[in-house]
Structure formats: structure tokens, C-alpha cells
């Protein structure tokens, strides 16, 4: 079955057909690095990392580009407030971003370009737009004219007149039309700037992504992705300036993830209800946060509450325990079970169901449902007296396959230190001697060290609390 993607541009699901066979060119809008990221920034990082992982699972070679906006008004203001240089400030928060999303299981991009490293390409891009008559310079500022691009508004499904009605020219702006947007901004006194044909200045926000896409991926790419809030004006403007320059489609598929709500209210700084990623992963296992984020289809809004995170924690723990039970039972299994083929067929059907879920616009919510079904089947299998190593390993491999695509790391049980090993052995001896009071006391001592013992027909097994 082929992968289908809901294309925000056409507003329907479409079969994915790559530009080049078995290759995917994918660009994701990254953060503006002037502060720590909040969980709204973490959602696209997790979602589109999972999309990338699934493409790779299906055998595609993915060139994945995620940018850093390392110069803009917010960064300049933060630099002034802290007294830190723009470069020092942005380096600090780029490292913080990579640390936060790395903890959430997000792989590094193939390329992580920065605006400050793409200035030459941006200037050339703007020069070409001026030559083609789509942009103009006024007193050191350069503006793009959306009215000259006939398809403006096609991504956000708005007409140029509707957009014009809500647009205003701010005090100090010298643009011809309220819809015109800045490609290059004249430097103010003391601001970071670069030399250009229009004088010292810096890039506008929208042009940077178009220039980076062209530099690292080419004129037309397979997938452009980001948060729903970027649809307009950012992505709309990217399309206009890129297609005005090349005359070619900018991206064949547009993907946008839904908003995050906090206790049923849309997260926003104005409401003061935003949560920093670093704070939430200090409180919860980052894998639980990732699991929770993927438990809802990426295009739907997601409600963030402590109760729902606790539920996700318990759900993921059940899956982990199921996997650990399989590992423990493997030691007492043989290769003699008569119904092994039937179980292996069931497991293969679950992998097919997982792929069907992911092929359908990367439906991670349904993929997680398959993971739960697999876990339940594994638990049923372990209730049998006679088990087959091949079946147990097939269960483990299937669970690991799904978890790897979802980017959920399976906790490996650490080796016990000498003291804990001695206590477990001492408890075994106490039970043999029918000294149950001593055995219970040792169990309680281990529980205080967050070691849970489980007595099974195959012997004592342990897990960390």
C-alpha cells in the first residue's frame, strides 16, 4: 500500500509520489532561537521526526532540513535586554533546543541551516525578485508585491481582496500596498546587519526559508511542513516569492500539525498558559511526553493536562512491562510449541495493520492502538504453559519495530548492583526455608530502592519502579 498525505494546499488526501524514486526532500520550519522552546514547538519536532522515521522505515532516503531563525526583532530585543551578543544568545538557545528535542527522541536533521549562514543566498534571491518585477526597494527596505503573484492566497484559501481588507500599513513603513511584505529590512542604529545592494540591513522572516530550501533541496521539494499557525502569512509568502522566482511548484505536499491546548484553552503567551519543554521533561519521562503527543493524529488539536500525561505514562508502562515479560519468559521457552505458526501469522497481521495506519496520513493514534493490541496478544501468549522462543522474539521484534518508528526508546533494565543481587538471593533462600517474614521484609527493602519483584512460574523477575 502506498503512503497518502493530507495536502494542506489541495485540502485532500493524496498518494505520495516523490520527485525522485525512493527519495524524499523534506523541509520543516524550525524555531526562532531567542528563548527556550515551549511544548507547542516540540509538537512539530516530534510529529515530523516520526514522518521522517516512517519514510526511512519504508526504504526512502530522506534529506531532512530544519532551520534556525537566528536573527529577527525578538532576538535583537532579547540581546539588548540580556546584554548578550546575538551570536552568543542564539548559540545558547540552539543548543538548548537540540538538547530538549534530543531528549524527546528527535533525530538531528540532515541539515540545520541558520539565517546568518545564508545571507549571500538571500541577497541573490531578492535581487532576482527585483529584476523580475515582483519586488521593489524603498530607502533601504525591500518589499515583495503579492498582488503581482496571481495565485496568492491559495494555501490559506483566501482571496487577495479578503486579505487586503485586513491589512494595514504600520507607522514608518514605506510600502506601496498593505499586503506587501519585507524581504530586506534597513538596519537601525546598533543592530546586527549585513552589507547589501540596498545598504546595511538584514533579511525579512519569510525570505529566509525560501532561500534555505533552494540552497539545500532545490527549486521544488516533496514536503514542506510546520505548525498550523505558519500557514498564513509565513508559508503563503514562501510560496509566492519562491514560485515567482522559479515559475515552478515550491512544494508538492504541505503538512501542518494542529494546535496545543492547555486544560482546554489554546496555549498562548498572552494567556500565560504556555509550558516550556525543558520543564515538562524534567517532570515526566520524555518518552512519555512523546508517546502522549503521538497518541493524537497530528492534524488534530491536542489537549495537554497532567491527568492525560499520567494516563500516557501508565499506558506506556504497560507496553514496557509486556516487553520485559517476554524477555523474562524467553529463558524458559523451547522451540516445541505446536501452534507457533498461527501466532507468527497473528504478529505479521499486526505489522500490516501498523503499516496501514501509518500509510494513511501517518495516523500514529491508530498505530499506537495496534501496539496495544500486540501487547495484549503477547500477554495472552505468555499465559500458555508452553512457549516458543521464535514467537516470543517475533512479538519483541514487532513491538520494537513500531516503537522505533514512533521514536519511543525501550528502557533497558540495568544490571543490578551487588547489594541488590545479594538481597534477591537471600530472599530466595528465605522462601526455600519457609521464612516468609524475612522474605517479605527483603521485598519491602527492595521496594524502597524502587525495585519491584514479581514471582512467576518461571522464577523471580524484577523491574524498576
pTM of the model: 0.89
Interval 47-75: pLDDT, tens: 999 999 999 999 999 999 999 999 999 99
Question: Which residues lie closer than 8 Å to 375 by C-beta, 6 or more apart?
Answer: 318, 319, 322, 323, 399
- Of 5-19, 39-53, 215-229, 336-350, the one with minimum mean pLDDT is 336-350
Question: Helix and strand tally (H, E) in the chain?
Answer: 15, 15
More confident of the two residues 208 and 453 = 208
The answer to whether residue 46 scores a pLDDT higher than 70 is yes
- Of 124-133, 195-204, 417-426, the one with minimum mean pLDDT is 417-426
pLDDT tier for residue 203 given thresholds of 50, 70 and 90: very high
Which triple of cell numbers denotes residue 385? 504453559
Kindly report the backbone phi and psi dihedral angles of residue 207, in degrees, each rounded to the nearest multiple of 5, phi listed first: -65, -30
More confident of the two residues 75 and 386 = 75
The answer to whether residue 243 scores a pLDDT higher than 90 is yes
Rounded Cα gap, residues 359 and 51, in angstroms = 10
To the nearest whole percent, how much of the chain has pLDDT over 70? Answer: 93
Q: Between β-strands 302-304 and 221-227, what pairing exists: parallel, antiparallel or unpaired?
A: unpaired
Q: What is the mean pLDDT of residues 236-240?
A: 98
More confident of the two residues 169 and 253 = 253
The answer to whether residue 415 scores a pLDDT higher than 50 is no
Interval 308-351: pLDDT, tens: 999 999 999 999 989 988 987 887 777 666 789 999 999 999 99
pLDDT tier for residue 463 given thresholds of 50, 70 and 90: low
CB 374 within 8 A of CB 312: no
The answer to whether residue 250 scores a pLDDT higher than 70 is yes
Average per-residue pLDDT in the chain?
Answer: 92
Which stretch of DSSP H or E encloses residue 367? helix 364-382
Task: Specify whether the backbone of 456 is left (phi greater than 0), alpha (psi in -120 to 50) or beta.
Answer: beta
Interval 255-312: pLDDT, tens: 999 999 988 888 876 777 889 999 999 999 999 999 999 999 999 999 999 999 999 9
The answer to whether residue 165 scores a pLDDT higher than 90 is no
pLDDT tier for residue 246 given thresholds of 50, 70 and 90: very high
Amino acid at each position: 500500500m502506498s503512503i497518502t498525505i493530507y495536502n494542506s494546499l489541495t485540502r485532500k488526501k493524496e498518494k505520495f509520489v516523490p520527485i525522485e524514486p525512493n527519495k524524499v526532500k523534506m523541509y520543516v520550519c524550525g524555531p526562532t532561537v531567542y528563548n527556550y522552546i515551549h511544548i507547542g514547538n516540540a509538537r512539530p519536532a516530534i510529529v515530523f521526526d516520526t514522518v521522517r522515521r516512517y519514510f526511512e522505515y519504508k526504504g526512502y532516503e530522506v534529506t531532512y532540513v530544519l532551520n534556525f531563525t537566528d536573527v529577527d526583532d525578538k532576538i535583537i530585543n532579547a540581546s539588548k535586554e540580556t546584554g548578550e551578543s546575538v551570536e552568543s544568545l542564539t548559540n545558547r538557545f540552539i543548543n538548548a533546543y537540540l538538547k530538549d528535542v534530543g531528549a524527546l527522541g528527535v533525530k538531528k536533521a540532515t541539515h540545520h541551516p541558520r539565517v546568518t549562514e545564508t545571507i549571500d543566498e538571500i541577497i541573490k534571491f531578492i535581487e532576482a525578485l527585483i529584476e523580475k518585477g515582483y519586488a521593489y526597494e524603498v530607502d533601504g527596505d525591500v518589499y515583495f508585491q503579492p498582488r503581482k503573484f496571481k495565485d496568492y492566497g491559495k494555501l490559506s484559501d483566501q482571496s487577495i481582496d479578503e486579505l487586503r481588507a485586513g491589512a494595514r500599513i504600520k507607522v514608518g513603513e514605506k510600502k506601496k500596498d498593505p499586503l506587501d511584505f519585507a524581504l530586506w529590512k534597513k538596519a537601525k542604529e546598533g543592530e546586527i546587519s549585513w552589507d547589501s545592494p540596498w545598504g546595511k540591513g538584514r533579511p525579512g522572516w519569510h525570505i529566509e526559508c525560501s532561500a534555505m530550501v533552494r540552497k539545500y533541496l532545490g527549486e521544488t521539494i516533496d514536503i514542506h511542513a510546520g505548525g498550523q499557525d505558519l500557514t498564513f502569512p509565513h508559508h503563503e509568502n514562501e510560496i509566492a516569492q519562491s514560485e515567482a522566482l522559479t515559475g515552478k511548484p515550491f512544494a508538492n505536499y504541505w503538512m501542518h500539525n494542529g494546535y496545543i491546548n492547555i486544560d482546554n484553552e489554546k496555549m498562548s503567551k498572552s494567556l500565560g498558559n504556555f509550558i516550556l519543554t525543558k520543564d515538562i521533561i524534567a517532570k515526566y519521562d520524555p518518552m512519555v511526553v512523546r508517546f502522549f503527543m503521538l497518541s493524537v493524529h497530528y492534524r488534530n488539536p491536542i489537549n495537554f493536562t497532567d491527568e492525560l500525561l499520567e494516563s500516557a505514562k501508565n499506558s506506556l508502562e504497560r507496553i514496557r512491562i509486556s516487553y520485559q515479560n517476554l524477555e523474562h519468559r524467553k529463558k524458559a521457552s523451547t522451540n516445541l510449541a505446536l501452534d507457533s505458526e498461527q501466532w507468527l501469522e497473528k504478529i505479521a497481521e499486526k505489522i500490516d495493520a501498523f503499516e496501514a495506519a501509518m500509510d494513511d496520513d501517518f495516523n500514529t493514534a491508530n498505530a499506537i492502538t495496534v501496539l496495544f493490541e500486540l501487547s495484549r496478544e503477547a500477554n495472552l501468549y505468555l499465559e500458555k504453559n508452553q512457549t516458543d522462543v521464535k514467537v516470543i522474539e517475533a512479538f519483541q521484534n514487532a513491538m520494537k519495530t513500531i516503537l522505533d518508528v514512533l521514536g519511543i526508546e525501550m528502557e533497558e533494565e540495568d544490571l543490578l548492583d551487588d547489594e541488590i543481587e545479594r538481597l534477591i538471593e537471600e530472599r530466595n533462600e528465605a522462601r526455600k526455608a519457609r521464612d516468609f517474614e524475612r522474605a517479605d521484609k527483603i521485598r519491602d527493602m527492595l521496594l524502597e530502592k524502587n525495585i519491584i519483584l514479581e514471582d512467576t512460574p518461571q522464577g523471580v523477575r524484577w523491574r524498576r519502579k
